[in-house]
Structure formats: C-alpha cells, structure tokens
Structure 1
Amino acid sequence: MTGRARTPVLEARGGPETQRRVRDSAGLLAGAAMRRLDEDLEWYRALPAEDRSWVGLVAQAGITAFVTWFAEPTRPPHGVGDIFAAAPPELTRSISLQHTLQLVRVVVDVVETHSDRLAAPGDEREVREAVLRYSREVAFSAAEVYARAAEVRGAWDARLEALVVDALVRGDVDDALRSRIAALGWSGRGSTLVMVGTTTSALDDVRAAELRRATRRAADDALVGIQGDRLVVFLGGEGDLRAAASTLLPRFGPGPVVIGPVVGELTDSARSARAALSGLLAAPAWEQAPRPVLADELLPERVLIGDVTARRTLVAQAYAPLAASPGSLLETLSAYLGTGRSLEAAARTLFVHPNTVRYRLRRVSDVTGWDPLDARESYVLQTALALGRLDAADSAPAGTAR
C-alpha cells in the first residue's frame, strides 16, 4: 500500500478568540498609534497637515496589514512597500529612514502595550512574537524602499545637475534655472568659481557618484558636469575656493586643469566657465604651465585662439594703465622688450642711466601687476603692448599715418 504525501495544514496564529480580538482591535490600535505619534515624535508634530495625514494612513495601513498577516500564517509579512502604497513617493523626502523606523517602533510598542487585551489567555507570548517578527520584516523592507528612492533620486539629481551645468556654461540663466539650482541644494552663500579638465577615464555611475561626494566635501556647494571626456566643476562657498579646487586635482585626468576667476554668485559663473574652458583649450601652448593653472595666467595663449575677453583684459590691465601713466613707463617697457630685455641697451636707446630703466620697470610692475624682469611675465606684457598698439592703430582717424 502506497501512502499518499499529506500537505501539512498550518493553523492560524493563536486561537479563534485571539484571532477575533486582534481583528476587532484594528481601529483601537490605529487610534492609539496616532495619539502616541503626536505625543512622542516631535518631527511628526512639525510636519505639514498633508504629510501628517499621509503618515496617519501609513500607520493605519501597517496595523491593518499586521492583522491580515496574523490571521494567515501561509502569507509572508507585508513589506513596507505595500504599507506605503497609499502615500506619494515624495513622502520619503519629508520623512527620513530614521523617522520611519521610529514610526515602526511606536506602532510596535502600541501593539505590545495592548497585547494582553489582544490575546486570549495563554496566547500572549505568541502575539508578542508575531509583533516582533512583523516589525523586523517591516524595518528591513523600509530600508529597501528608501534605498530605491535614493537611487531614483540620485539618477534624477544627476540628470538635473547635467542640465544645470550646461545652462550655466552657456549663460542661460532664468527663473526656471534658479529653481533647479535650489532643488540641487545650492545654498548660494559666498563666491563661485569653475574648474575644468579631463576625466580620469570613462566614469560609470559609481565613480561619478564618488566624484560628486568628493566635490561636496571640498566646498560648501558643488556641481559637477561630465561632458564626454571633459570635467566641469562649479564650487561655491565662503572659504578659499582656489584651495578647495586644488584638493580636487587628483580627481581629474591627465593634462591641464584650469581654474576660472572667482565671481560673486552662481548665476554669474558663465564668465568663470568661459574663461576656464578657453584656458583649457589654450593651455597646451604654455608647456611649463603649472597644474592647476589660473585662466588669467593664460591670457596670451587665450588671445592666440581668438578669445576676445582675454584680449580686452590684457589691454585694460596692462597697456591702458601704462599709456595713462606719467614717467615714460610705456616707452621704457617698449625699449626694454625691443632690445632683447637688456637694461643697458634700453638705457642707450632712451639716453638714460640703466638704474633709471630699472626704476621705471619696477614702476611698470607696480602699475600692471606683471614684472618685466620675469621671463613669463615679460611675455605677457609684450603681448599686451602689441594688442594695445593694434587697437590704437585701428581707432586712429582715417588717413593718419601708421
């Protein structure tokens, strides 16, 4: 005789009386839970009315789900995903995972407090064990829900950040962009600068996320734009932004890294971004350029690639002040540069003593900020003089001899 395998029959938790009590107490437990939330959780009392109502629905859904699960032993515990089904996804922004776990603990404590009323004599231990098991499953599921929400939010933030960086580089600033910047958490305190370079390699999501965390550790505010093999970083805050930018140097790939000028606020950062990007394109012309290098230290090279802003800056900061200064500073600098940077040859050309030339060149340094006796800075000044003369020739009246 062959025996037939018998499927084990799982009995409901507790006896019929306990089942009835648990089922009939759902409303009582929900009401008690809501009172405890209001009494014990300060963050709950501070929520807007709409969010408070959603939290109330979540708490009631959790208790209802527990009652249903308690009566059906073959059914796995409801995850918090089911409990949160009635609430909008945005609730995970208003309520942190820590707050959710506090909510779970309050509800568990309420059920345990009423366990003597819920359980028939002899079933108290089983009711308490069921509550503990259910709360454990809900806590693990809560972590999964928040992890998924963070992943989705991270992907959304990365896409939004890319759009914002692109708009800032182009200078397309409007009210909508300001709203997007605020959504990314930019505080707007202090100044802003832009640094650009290449990426170390193809950045996957993990490396890109780590890069963003590093930039946010370096400064109060940070935005990152990954544009192919080019990396654009916006830094903001009240500290030393250039020092903060230098700490990020290892995050960039090989080749030049250029730091744009500091500007007042993020919406004005297009100027810094344009200077930095122009400097990145022009940097190979200066083989000895430091790394990182300031965009304003690359003014002659930027002029060579057609940067109009760099041309205006050189004329305004070097040629124009010298032309307006007394003491033949422009003439002396021109003679010094035109005679192979020789003090004696310049002195003979000007019919003055070499010490006079030396004194005037020190005055040139005071007026412009560039030292003619330094090889690199004399090149900057020579470029400025050439540009100033070209502008002067272009502005001369027609028919004037050139």
Structure 2
Amino acid sequence: MKNSWSAKIPRPVSAEAKAAVRAHLGELKTAVLHQLNTSLPWYRDLPASQRASLGEIAQQGLTTFADWFEHSENTVKTSVSGVLHSVFGNAPTELSRTVSLQQAVQLLRTVLQVVETQLPAIVAEPDKAAARYAVVFYSREIAFALAEVYARAAETRGSWDARLEALLLDSILAGDRADEIRSRAAATGWKANRGITVMVGQPDQLEEPQLVAKLREIATRADLEILIGVLSDRLVIVLGDVNDVEADTRTIQRGFGEGPIVYGRIVDSLVDAPSSAQEALEGFSAAPAWPAAPRPVAASELLPERALNGDTVARAALTSQVYRPLSRAGHSLLETVDVYTTTGGSLEATARQLFIHANTVRYRLKRVAELTGWDPTSPRDAYVLQVALMTGRLDTVLNQPQQ
C-alpha cells in the first residue's frame, strides 16, 4: 500500500514566497552542487558521468520541491509515488547501482540542508515559518521515496541475481563450455578461485525462499561462497573458498533435509566444477546402497556403490587406483587381498591358505594400504578393495583382443 500524508502548513504560503523560490532556483542548484563537492568525499571520487547523473537527480529534487511549494495551498497532499516519479524519474536503478543507501541519504540530506539554510533569506518574514515547515514535510516524503527506490531495486536485483545463479548452476550441471561458465560466473559476481566443491542432498522442509536465505546466512558466517539450486527433490549447492572440506560441508549440512548428502572432488575453478557435480550426483544416486555412510560423505568414498549403479567413471577409478597398482606390484598382493577379504579378514586363515607366515600377511596388507589408500584391515576398505579386484579383472578380460 502506498504511503500518503497530509498535514497543515502553519499559514498559507504567499504568492510572493512562491515566486521568490522559483526565482532563486538556479542559485539553489548551484549551491547544492558546490555543497556536494565540498562536503561529500565519496561524491568527488565518483567518475564524471556518475557525478553528473547524481547531480541531475539532486537538481531535479530541487525543481520538484519548487513545483510542490508553488502549488501547495492550505493542505499539503503529496504521495511517495508522486515524489518518486518526479524526483527520480527513470533513475532509480542507476541511483541504487551507483551509490549505497547510506550515500543516497547523505546526498539528499545535503540538498535539503542547502534549501533549509537559504530559504529563510529568500522569503519574507511572514512566510519563514511556513517555508521551514515545507522543507521538513518534503524531507519526509523524500525519505519515503528513497526507501522505496532501494527496496524495489533490491527486489529486482534479487530476482535477477537468482536467474543468473540458476543459469550458472545449469551450466555447471550440464558441463557447458569453459568460456560460457566463466561468463556466467562473472555475471553472478562469483569470486572464489579455489576450494570449490558441489554438494547434493535432499532439501529441508522450508519453502525455497526461506531455505535459500538460511543457506546463504550459514555460508556467509562460514566465509564460504555459495550457489544454490533446488531441482525437484534435490538440493544442489556449489561451495567456494573451502578450506576444510569435511568441516565446511558439515557446516552447510544444516540446510539439508534427511537422507544422504554427497560432495564431489575439490577443484580450483568453476570451469572444473562439472566434474565435481557429476561425482556428487552419481554418488547421491548410489548412496542408498550404503546406509551407514557418513553424512555428508565424499563421492570418492562411494566408488563401489557408484560402480554397481552403472557409473563408468567410478568403475574406471577402482581399476586405475586399486587394481592396476596392485597388479603392477606383483601377483602376491592381489592374491593376499583376495584371500584376506574372502576369509573374513582373518590373518591366520590367510596365512594358512597362502602357506606364508602371518607377519608376511601383515606386511603385504600394509603395502596394499600404502599403494591404494585403502586399508584391508578396515571392513569398509576391505569391501572397496574386493569390488575393485572384481572390476579390474572384468575390465582386463573385456579389454583383451578377440581371438
């Protein structure tokens, strides 16, 4: 609902006072521009084109005041929308982009201070009280108009930023060209060029605007950059400036709902984020196969589940990161892992079956952990190794030339 006000001026403004204000309008405009340059350092530092634009707004404010002062009768009736249109015209967007709300308040306060200072010298004694009242009243209307300018600009900017963010997120998920991702990242103001990961999970039960606001607040407090997208039943988040991926993803976890939360690899550029996003999405799809998975969990910890779910990247990773290093190290390590995992993780049973000492089994298992990063003595890691041996053997057979 638009604000409107009406109030009584102490006495009717005389025709002579109105004419005097109109006659001195040029002097007032000159005084305002001089005061802006002398009292506002940030105004002096603006580029010439922006100073000229703001100067025009300030002078239009004076012209509108003179028009309003000239046509006011016993009752002053004005509205925020009227002042908004008369003073700012087509400039609200430019105003809000050029200066902050605090600076805009300083600018208009300077304009009105000049008027308030010089008006008593312009009008005759009988009109001075009415003139002072007029300045106060007009100041109030300008304040309402200014608040509306910035509120509308913020709303428009928020909607536009959301659209730009959605386009950038779509580009990342679709794996678009690097130059397209860079262009859209620049449009959104994305600054992080390190520590970038993608998280996928189920959204919280909040409505989307409240959920987005909650996540932004969490990210801001943690000094993280964030892109947010709610895609049907999935919440997709791109995090930037991540220092400790486990700690930072746990922090953001508070914006997710129930169920698994998966994050992809850490990359140093949004251009590389599609690989992290693909990992996270594949991991999220396969995560139900590991009910005891940590929350959140790295997609790289879900290689067996992803491979079983048809993720060729995960299957290739198991082969290249586990099977091939063990195969190159000699048949004994593959054999030891195979026997150890199929005998339930028993050192003695493995040693008996391989006709070696238990200490030799221990040494080989330690060597496996060093080569692959997966410790056979851990039940979860043993499962990963077991699946890796299966995929590696299958890939070896499939890649053999046909006879």
In the superposition, the TM-score normalised over structure 2's length comes to 0.91
> Residue 76 of structure 1: which of 78, 86, 92 is its match?
78
Deviations 1:189-246 (CA, angstroms, capped at 9, x unpaired): 3220011101123624344333333334334311111112211110111532432221
Change (3 A) 1:10 1:287: closer
Give the match's secondary structure for 1:233.
Answer: strand
Are positions 1:228 and 2:227 aligned together? no
Give the match's secondary structure for 2:348.
Answer: helix
Check whether the contact 1:199–1:251 (CA below 8 A) recurs between aligned residues: yes
Are positions 1:289 and 2:293 aligned together? yes
Report the CA distance between 1:326 and its aligned residue. 4.8
Report the CA distance between 1:301 and its aligned residue. 0.3
| Percent of residue pairs identical | 47
Distance 1:169 1:176 in 2: 13
Check whether the contact 2:202–2:259 (CA below 8 A) recurs between aligned residues: yes
Distance 1:280 1:126 in 2: 71
Aligned partner letter, 1:23: R
Report the CA distance between 1:131 and its aligned residue. 0.9
Aligned partner letter, 2:201: G
Describe how 1:261-276 pairs up with structure 2 within 5 A.
261-276=265-280
Describe how 1:168-317 pairs up with structure 2 within 5 A.
168-201=172-205, 203-237=207-241, 239-317=243-321
Check whether the contact 1:194–1:273 (CA below 8 A) recurs between aligned residues: yes
Give the match's secondary structure for 1:291.
Answer: coil
Aligned to 1:18: 17
Q: Which moved more, 1:208-217 or 1:98-107?
A: 208-217
Q: CA RMSD in A?
A: 2.1
Check whether the contact 2:230–2:236 (CA below 8 A) recurs between aligned residues: yes
Check whether the contact 2:10–2:130 (CA below 8 A) recurs between aligned residues: no
Are positions 1:350 and 2:354 aligned together? yes
Q: Which moved more, 1:25-34 or 1:70-79?
A: 70-79
Distance 2:181 2:400 in 1: 44
Report the CA distance between 1:10 and its aligned residue. 8.9
Aligned to 2:4: none
Distance 2:110 2:9 in 1: 30
Aligned to 1:57: 56
Aligned to 1:43: 42
Q: Which moved more, 1:331-340 or 1:272-281?
A: 331-340
Stretches of structure 1 that go unaligned for 5 or more consecutive residues are 1-8
Distance 2:179 2:141 in 1: 45
Deviations 1:28-73 (CA, angstroms, capped at 9, x unpaired): 1111111111122222222222222211111111001111111222
Instruction: Say how many residue pairs are matched.
Output: 391
Deviations 1:124-182 (CA, angstroms, capped at 9, x unpaired): 23212211221121012211111111011111111221111011111113434323212
> Residue 99 of structure 1: which of 103, 116, 120 is its match?
103
Distance 1:207 1:66 in 2: 44
Distance 1:152 1:213 in 2: 20
Give the match's secondary structure for 2:306.
Answer: helix
Q: Which moved more, 1:166-175 or 1:375-384?
A: 166-175
Check whether the contact 2:199–2:236 (CA below 8 A) recurs between aligned residues: yes
Aligned to 1:166: 170
